[in-house]
Amino acid sequence: MHLSIAVVASLAVITPTFALPAFSGSQLKSAADAVPGESSLFVNYQGKKTPLASNYTKVSPATGSGPAGADDLLFQNLLSAEWVIYSFYQRAVEYFSASDFTKLGFPNNTYERIVEIRDNEAGHVRIFQDQISKNSITPGPCTYTYGFNQLAKPNSTKEFLALQVLLEVSSMAFLTGLANQADLNISKSALMAIGQVESRHNTWSLIDVYNVSPFLRPLGYRLPLRKPDPGSDQHNLPRFTFNPKTTTARPGSTLEFVFQAKPTFAADKDYWAVFYHDLNQVSVPYDPKKNVATIPKEFDSKVGVIMVNIADEKDAPTEDSVVAGPLIILEQPGSLTLLLD
């Protein structure tokens, strides 16, 4: 399998512009009563309208005054991210038809599978909502636009399929990493169970759409997310990407970092580019003047993710030692990068 690599700095690159449609009449009643694990709306509903009732597609204020639940913040963050992913599939279901995929030679059931994935993601929205206690706000969706619906077909179809793998790989990695932040065992179990569903989504795409092996590595996808140190504020760290014209972005290659707003580097300090891949963590020297570092050649080049932070301590042992990042590098089949450069 020939591999090339595309970059995702964060899901925040998706910008607002469209609203979720709502059910009406008998569909609304059905959706309002639907429970993930019991209702076919979250499994094989094939309608173009959302399987979520209107009361589930908005912010819900806290109704209690007690302390927040142990994992409320975790599920608030997860729900905010899930709205991006669910809305991505909902928009595709509305925008495409079965013929858009069959015309390009994809299997006859490609659109049907995408609709079913949409159903699953709607179920994840409901599951995350239910995990947030009445003492905390339940986030609602923003409005979003995605690259695929800004292009003419068939390019938009190919762009959607490329983004679909990108989002599923990212979802699996983040869910696995976020398990470290859960306080309750039931929360950890929920994250692992949902990660299994995301893995099946991605396996379908790799086998049926791209005809590549889904058996990629023994560990799978994991991002090393930790709870912030007390008093640490890591929400506004400088972000960066890399110059795709000067690298293959494969393990062993050199990256030239490009900052949105370059941080201030002290002249008397050493800095490190800390690379994370599965359970592996490797620090390499980082020169702030040259803005370059080398991806560890030890990393395999199968489909997956590599994360990079810039830190003022080797291996970034604390949140406060991280001065910039993260950059998320997606390793993927070369055919997926057709429109993602």
Cβ proximity of 306 and 326 under 8 Å: no
Report the predicted TM-score, pTM, of the whole model to 2 decimal places: 0.74
More confident residue, 14 or 270: 270
Across the range 126-151, mean pLDDT stands at 90
d(CA 15, CA 194): 25
Q: Which helix (H) or strand (E) holds 307?
A: strand 304-311
Cβ proximity of 180 and 189 under 8 Å: no
Q: Per DSSP, which regions of 9-136 are E strands?
A: none
d(CA 134, CA 285): 47
Q: Quick check: 42 pLDDT over 60?
A: yes
Across the range 22-34, mean pLDDT stands at 54
Helices 155-178 and 185-204: angle between axes, nearest 10 degrees: 150
Closest-CA residue to 52 (of 160, 124, 112): 124
Q: Any idea which of 69-78, 80-89, 207-216, 311-320 has the lowest mean pLDDT?
A: 207-216
Task: Output DSSP code: residue 51.
Answer: S
Q: Could you give the percent of the chain with pLDDT greater than 90? A: 41
More confident residue, 192 or 10: 192
Q: pLDDT tens-digit profile of 185-243?
A: 999 999 989 988 998 998 898 888 878 777 766 665 566 655 544 444 445 788 888 88
CATH numbers and ranges of domains, the chain: 11-209 (no CATH), 240-339 (2.60.40)
Q: Quick check: 17 pLDDT over 90?
A: no
Closest-CA residue to 166 (of 124, 198, 212, 123): 198
∠ CA 76-275-164 to the nearest 5 degrees?
50
Looking up tokens 């925008």 gives 95
Biggest CA–CA distance in the chain, Å, is 68
Query: pLDDT at position 221, please?
Result: 59
Query: pLDDT at position 31, please?
Result: 66
Which residues are CB-contacts of 88 (< 8 A; sequence separation ≥ 6)? 14, 144, 146, 163, 164, 167
Q: Any idea which of 22-31, 71-80, 234-243, 326-335 has the lowest mean pLDDT?
A: 22-31
